[in-house]
Every structure is written in structure tokens, then in C-alpha cells.
Amino acid sequence: MMRRWGLAALSVAGGVLVAALKFSQGSPAGGAVLFAVFLVLGLVTSPLVFPRGVGAAEAVAGNLPIVYWRPGCPYCLRLRARLGPEADRVQWVDIWKDPEAAAIVRGFADGNETVPTVVIGGEGFVNPDPQWLKDKLQTA
């Protein structure tokens, strides 16, 4: 659990420290702005920006495309942002939350836990172009 939220918590804690330093230097406005920036960074690196995830077993049993991801991954964030509302048309599986999902990703990525890994119809694609996936979802 801590691994999933670690980067987000570290970002917020860093924001608190930087803001406190700015406040102590007599710059409350600068402290508030920097704290807000770190807070946004904490949100973006948290699992909250992704749709509700499912377990690997549930995702494989469904017939939607599957995106295996992990919190803090910039490529996963890029994929999520580019999909926009289409993100609800795939199953999102957090490999740090589900060891079975991590094993599936290792099977597609030559033993590595490279994410995002997209599985469509049993075929895996490691870190595909977000536009490619968006096009696949629109034609399906």
C-alpha cells in the first residue's frame, strides 16, 4: 500500500517543507504557490487519477482491453491523459496492487514489469502509442 502512495506522499511532504521554509523567510505568497504546485504533483502521482481498477483475474475474465499500470509511471499518466473519456472503456489493473498482474506483465515484457502494458484479445503491447490505443477503442 505504501509503495502505491509513496511518491504522492513524498511530494506533499516536500511541499509542506518548502512552504514552511518560504513562510519562515517572510514570503507567505510564495510558500502558498509552491505548496499548491507540490499538492498538484502529489495528486498526479497518486492512484486517484486513474479509473477504478480491477484485479487481474476479473480483467482477464471480461472482454474489454486491459491496461496494466502502476502509480507514478509517467508513461501510464500520459496514456491516461490522452485517452480522456475513452479511459472508461478499458480495464485498469495496478501491478503494484496485484502480484498476478505483475506476473502477466513480466510475461509480455521479457521478464520486466514495463508499464503501461496493454492487452487486447490476448495479445500484449508494451508501452504502446496512446493514439494507437485510442484509435483501437474508437473502432471497436
pLDDT at 127: 94
Which amino acid appears at position 115 of this protein?
A: V
Q: Which CATH topology does 50-139 take? A: Glutaredoxin (3.40.30)
pLDDT in tens, 11-44: 899 999 999 999 999 999 999 999 999 999 888 8
Q: pLDDT value at position 29?
A: 93
- What span, in angstroms and rounded, lies between the C-alpha atoms of 1 and 36? 25
- Residue 94's DSSP bridge partners are 69
Enter the pTM of the model.
0.76
pLDDT tens, residue by residue, 36-79: 999 998 888 888 878 788 899 899 888 899 999 998 899 999 99
How would you label 12-30 residue by residue, b for 16+ Cβ within 10 Å and e otherwise?
beebeebbeebeeeeeeee
What's the Cα-to-Cα distance from 1 to each of 14, 26, 31, 80, rounded to whole Å?
20, 37, 30, 21
For residue 99, is pLDDT > 70?
A: yes
* Residues 78-101, mean pLDDT to the nearest whole number: 92
Q: Residue 6: pLDDT above 80?
A: yes
* pLDDT of 1 above 60: no
Query: Rounded to the nearest 5°, which phi and psi values hold at 51?
Result: -60, 165
